[in-house]
Every structure is written in structure tokens, then in C-alpha cells.
């Protein structure tokens, strides 16, 4: 919607320039998160999170007032840097909570509801009032996040040594790094397939209405995996979910790319996005348990946005040279490496580490 409907259709930008704006935003999010995550204990979330989301809101509101490309580019970079700051500190606070699994599952569920409302209402508003409405809505969402953080973001104090000097944080373990790489590969496959789900369906000969019904089904079903992950927190091992997730993603992705039966395409299409949400909930809790400093979970935007940036261009290049069916094989390869990473991450018993504390102000 951001690139196709607003920047290309309404603002008249060519695909390359429109895509560059989105890439600039995502790149800024990644750069900001990469900068903040390693030093997460030195940043006061009670100040930085409201400020970050407020700056992002101002950037989006300003985007609605200009069509100058250089100005839009600068605003996309500024907004991305601000969002990356707010998201990293928010994920860190979730990781430091008493129950990171349940809290991130709740967050995913609310995000799915917000996305469903956004995708259901904003296109109609754009058709009635113009493309700049999308930026106004995004600005309003960021402003709401800033106000919520200002009202009650948890205070967190860095652990200090007896002489009151902040303790040096230990290096992240190999198992944490393996889990982070595996998660990044999950997001690559996720964004790759979702970027081409519609053209793959049309290439299979399915009607536009059929494909649109599948996309609607995705929006409705996406509300369930977060709730299901919360309910199964103590009934399913994180190891089983982390290893089974990419395997199931490979099976569904291959089915979507290769099957010419609409029933198989529809079922796999509706289920495919839920695998990422469900699996990521258990991965997040795993990272929170194995890294009490919360640096790993603070880097969640890096893992998510890197995959979101690589997936579409990788899938597009593969499809351009070998056809849409090759996307299925690419997902199988990525899922295989991801499975290996998660297996390595779970080779040794998980240490009984309590997450860092984050008390409300």
C-alpha cells in the first residue's frame, strides 16, 4: 500500500524511486536498531521511546504535506531512525518482563488486529481523500504509541557492580547468535512469499477474486497464532517449535509456488504467515531466557527488517530468471539453513536464567 498505492499511483513516482523511499525507511530502522541494541542498558527507555515515536509521528505527518522527493527521502530516513529506536527499546522491555512469551504473543495479536483494520479501512480512505491519508494514519499510530510510552513505559536500571560502576555485559552466546540468524532466514522466506503470493496465484491461472479471498483469509487467520502461542506456552517445547517452524514454512512455501490446485494454494496461503508469528513468539522467549541483557531481543527490528528487505529482491531475482516456481526451492533452501541454526541453538540444555527486571514507573 505504501509503495504501490500511495507513492506510485497517487504521487506518480516510478517504481525505482518509490522503492528507494521504502528501502531508505527500512535501512534506517535497521541502522538505528543496530546502534542501540548493543548498548541497550545505557539508554533510558522512559525518555527515548516516547521521543522516538513522537519524532516518527512528526515525520509521517510531514510526509503528508510534501511531494518533493528530496524532502520525502529525508523524512523517510528520519522516521526510520526514530522507529528503530522506539522498537528496539520496546522489544527490550518486553524481553525483560516477567513473562516475555505471553507479552510478545499479546503484542503480535494486537498487531494483527491493527493491521486488519488498517488494510480494511485505509484503502477506502485513500480512494476518497487521496494518498496522503495513509501518512496521516501512520502518524496517528506513531503518536498514539508515543503517548502510551509517555504514560507508562517501564523504568529499567542497569545492573551495577559493588563500586556503583555499570557492569560490562558478557558476549552473546553462540546459541543466541544461531537463533538470531535462523530468525532472519525465517523472515526472508516470509517476506519473499508474501511479496509474490498474488502474482503466483495469477500465474497458476486462478482468478483475481479467488486470490483476493485468500488474502482476506490471511488477514482473518493472522489473529489466531499469537493467541495460540500464548495458550501453548507451557505445553509445547520451544525447541520443537523452533525446529518445526522452518520445516513447515518450507512445505507450505513449496506448495504455494508449485501447486496448480486452488484448494492447496488457498490452504497453504492462509496458513503460511501464521507459521512466522507462532514460531517467532517461541524464539523471542528463547532469546529472552538465554540473554538476560535483552540485547538479542532488542535487535528484533534488525532481524525482521533485514529479512523484509532481502526477501522481495531475492524472490524477484529468482522468479525473473527461473520462474515463480523457483521461489519454492529458494524457500526450501533458506528453511533448511534456518532449521540447522535452530538445531545448533538448542543443542545444549537451556540455562536457568531469570530475565532482567523492568518495574513500572
Q: What is the pLDDT of residues 252-306, one digit of tens each?
A: 999 999 999 999 999 999 999 999 999 999 999 999 999 988 999 999 999 988 8
CATH topology identical between 2-152 and 174-345: yes
84 vs 19 pLDDT, higher one: 84
Domain ranges of the chain: 2-152, 174-345
Residue 353, pLDDT above cutoff 50: no
Residue 37, pLDDT above cutoff 70: yes
pLDDT band at 97 (very low <50, low <70, confident <90, very high): very high
The alpha carbon of residue 221 and the mean position of all alpha carbons in its chain are separated, in whole angstroms, by 17
| Per-residue pLDDT tens digits for 292-324 | 889 999 999 999 888 887 888 888 888 888 988
Q: What is the pLDDT of residue 34?
A: 93
| Per-residue pLDDT tens digits for 322-333 | 988 999 999 999
| Rounded Cα–Cα distance for residues 194 and 189 (Å) | 9
Q: What is the pLDDT of residue 124?
A: 86
Residue 164, pLDDT above cutoff 60: no
49: helix, coil or strand? helix
| Rounded Cα–Cα distance for residues 115 and 2 (Å) | 13
Secondary-structure class of domain 2-152 per CATH: mainly alpha
| Rounded Cα–Cα distance for residues 268 and 254 (Å) | 9
| Rounded Cα–Cα distance for residues 73 and 60 (Å) | 12
Residue 357, pLDDT above cutoff 50: no
Residue 135, pLDDT above cutoff 80: yes
Residue 123, pLDDT above cutoff 90: no
pLDDT band at 167 (very low <50, low <70, confident <90, very high): low
Residue 27, pLDDT above cutoff 60: yes
Average pLDDT over the chain, rounded to whole?
A: 88
| Rounded Cα–Cα distance for residues 63 and 323 (Å) | 37
Residue 121, pLDDT above cutoff 90: no
Q: What is the pLDDT of residue 360?
A: 45
Judge residue 262's burial from the number of C-beta atoms within 10 Å of its C-beta, 0-12 exposed, 13-18 middle, 19 or more buried: middle
| Cα distance between the two ends of the chain | 38
CA distances from 298 to 133, 139, 333 (A): 31, 23, 27
- Cell numbers at 152, concatenated: 507508562
pTM of the full predicted structure?
A: 0.85
Q: What is the pLDDT of residue 352?
A: 46
334 vs 121 pLDDT, higher one: 334
Residues 6+ apart with CB under 8 A from 360: 152, 154, 155
Residue 8, pLDDT above cutoff 80: no
CATH homologous superfamily of 174-345: MFS general substrate transporter like domains (1.20.1250.20)
Contact 353, 290 (CB under 8 A): yes
Sequence length of the chain is: 361
Amino acid at each position: 500500500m505504501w509503495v504501490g498505492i500511495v507513492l506510485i499511483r497517487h504521487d506518480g513516482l516510478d517504481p525505482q524511486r518509490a522503492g528507494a523511499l521504502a528501502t531508505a525507511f527500512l535501512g534506517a530502522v535497521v541502522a538505528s536498531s543496530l546502534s542501540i541494541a548493543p548498548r541497550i542498558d545505557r539508554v533510558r527507555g522512559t525518555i527515548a521511546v516516547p521521543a522516538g515515536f513522537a519524532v516518527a509521528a512528526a515525520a509521517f505527518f510531514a510526509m503528508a504535506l510534501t511531494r518533493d522527493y528530496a524532502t520525502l527521502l529525508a523524512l523517510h530516513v528520519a522516521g526510520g531512525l526514530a522507529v528503530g529506536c522506539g522498537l528496539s527499546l520496546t522489544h527490550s522491555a518486553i524481553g525483560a518482563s516477567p513473562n516475555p512469551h505471553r507479552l510478545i504473543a499479546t503484542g503480535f495479536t494486537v498487531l494483527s488486529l491493527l493491521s486488519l483494520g488498517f488494510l480494511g479501512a485505509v484503502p477506502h480512505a485513500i480512494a476518497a481523500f487521496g494518498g496522503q491519508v495513509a501518512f496521516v494514519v501512520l502518524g496517528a499510530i506513531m503518536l498514539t504509541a508515543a503517548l502510551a510510552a509517555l504514560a507508562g513505559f517501564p523504568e529499567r536500571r542497569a545492573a551495577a557492580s559493588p563500586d556503583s560502576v555499570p557492569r560490562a555485559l558478557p558476549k552473546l552466546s553462540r546459541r543466541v547468535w544461531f537463533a538470531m540468524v535462523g530468525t532472519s532466514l525465517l523472515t526472508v522466506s516470509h517476506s519473499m512469499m508474501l511479496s509474490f503470493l498474488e502474482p503466483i496465484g495469477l500465474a497458476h491461472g486462478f482468478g483475481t477474486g479467488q486470490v483476493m479471498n485468500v488474502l482476506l483469509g490471511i488477514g482473518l487467520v493472522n489473529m489466531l497464532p499469537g493467541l495460540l502461542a500464548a495458550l501453548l506456552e507451557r505445553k509445547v517445547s520451544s525447541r520443537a517449535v523452533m525446529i518445526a517452524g522452518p520445516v513447515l514454512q518450507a512445505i507450505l512455501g513449496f506448495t504455494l509456488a508449485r501447486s496448480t490446485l486452488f484448494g492447496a494454494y488457498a490452504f497453504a496461503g492462509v496458513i503460511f504467515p501464521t507459521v512466522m508469528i507462532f514460531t517467532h513468539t517461541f524464539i523471542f522467549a528463547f532469546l529472552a531466557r538465554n540473554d538476560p541483557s535483552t540485547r538479542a531481543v532488542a535487535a528484533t527490528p534488525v532481524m525482521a527488517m533485514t529479512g523484509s528487505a532481502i526477501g522481495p529482491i531475492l524472490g524477484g531475482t529468482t522468479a525473473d530468471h527461473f520462474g515463480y516456481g523457483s521461489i519454492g526451492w529458494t524457500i526450501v533452501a533458506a528453511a533448511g539453513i534456518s532449521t540447522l541454526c535452530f538445531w545448533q541453538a538448542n543443542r545444549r540444555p537451556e540455562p536457568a536464567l531469570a530475565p532482567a527486571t523492568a518495574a513500572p514507573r
